[in-house]
């Protein structure tokens, strides 16, 4: 990774990770910020078309070294907190717009997908979604059985199932996908230690399980967000 890009991401992504609404930044592979935006009225944001970015920044039409980094706010249902990876929409828009990469940050992890050296190889949306659904179904069935049989903890399931699905999808297409565990930003926000459960919308297998009674989540999320707003007002 380019040194300037690495320094840029280390500075800005921790602040993205604790926002309670989605925000995105377009930056080049050599660390030049091109666009920073958000929409507090929607739950998610889409990758901006490269054509718009090139026009706004007077860039050549052939330039295609854009990276999109954005946050995934933690979702909660009652006292349950969900951990996520890149969504299938994130991945498809990255391919469609021929971005050099996409990154999604949250409190716990940063998820990264970079364009292969030989490009995206004309992946079709219909094929991509079909493979993703097949993999998702297989992983969910396998992992749910492991939880209910006591072979896997509910915390591990919730923290890793989406990552496992996207890992298998990336292996299918030979993509460079990985995640890194976030570190506490120096002198600022402290990431809370939370119990994480399934990102699924509480399916029957989980609703009927007695495992839920043992889950407790400490709500530090909004507190850390308020601290960051005071320390870094320009970022909010």
Write out pLDDT tens, residues 84-119. Answer: 789 999 999 999 999 999 999 987 789 999 999 889
Domain span including residue 217: 3-235
pTM beyond 0.85: the answer is: no
**Residue 222, pLDDT above cutoff 70:** no
Number of separate domains in the chain: 1
Nearest of 44, 48, 42 to residue 27 by alpha carbon: 48
How sure is the predictor about 210, in pLDDT bands with cuts at 50, 70 and 90? very low
Q: What percent of the chain has pLDDT over 90?
A: 33
Instruction: Give the model's pLDDT for residue 223.
Output: 56
Choose the weakest-confidence range: 78-87, 95-104, 197-206.
197-206
**Residue 44, pLDDT above cutoff 80:** no
Instruction: Give the model's pLDDT for residue 82.
Output: 58
- What is the DSSP secondary structure assignment for residue 105, as one 8-state letter? E
**Residue 80, pLDDT above cutoff 80:** no
Instruction: Give the model's pLDDT for residue 40.
Output: 65
Nearest of 202, 204, 198, 210 to residue 81 by alpha carbon: 198
* Contacts within 8 Å (CB) and 24+ apart, 156-164: 157/197, 157/198, 158/82, 158/83, 158/196, 158/197, 158/198, 158/199, 159/83, 159/108, 159/196, 160/83, 161/198, 161/199, 161/200, 162/83, 162/84, 162/85, 162/199, 163/85, 163/109, 163/111, 164/139
Per DSSP, the three-state class of 37 is strand
Write out pLDDT tens, residues 126-184. Answer: 999 999 999 999 999 998 888 888 888 776 777 788 899 999 999 999 999 999 988 75
């Amino acid at each position: 990774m380019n040194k300037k890009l690495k320094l840029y991401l280390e500075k800005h992504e921790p602040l993205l990770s604790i926002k309670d609404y989605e925000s995105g930044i377009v930056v080049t592979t050599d660390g030049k910020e091109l666009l920073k935006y958000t929409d507090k009225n929607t739950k998610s944001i889409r990758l901006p078309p490269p054509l718009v970015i090139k026009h706004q920044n007077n860039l050549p039409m052939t330039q295609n070294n854009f990276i999109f980094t954005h946050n995934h706010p933690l979702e909660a249902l009652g006292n349950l907190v969900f951990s996520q990876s890149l969504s299938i929409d994130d991945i498809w828009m990255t391919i469609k717009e021929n971005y050099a990469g996409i990154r999604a940050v949250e409190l716990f992890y940063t998820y990264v997908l970079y364009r292969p050296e030989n490009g995206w190889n004309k992946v079709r949306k219909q094929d991509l979604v079909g493979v993703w659904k097949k993999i998702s179904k297989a992983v969910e069935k396998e992992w749910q059985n492991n939880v209910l049989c006591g072979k896997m903890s509910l915390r591990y399931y919730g923290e890793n199932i989406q990552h496992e699905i996207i890992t298998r999808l990336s292996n299918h297409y030979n993509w460079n996908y990985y995640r890194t565990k976030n570190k506490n930003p120096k002198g600022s926000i402290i990431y809370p230690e939370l119990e994480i459960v399934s990102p699924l919308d509480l399916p029957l297998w989980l609703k009927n399980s007695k495992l839920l009674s043992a889950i407790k989540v400490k709500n530090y999320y909004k507190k850390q967000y308020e601290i960051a707003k005071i320390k870094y007002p320009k970022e909010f």
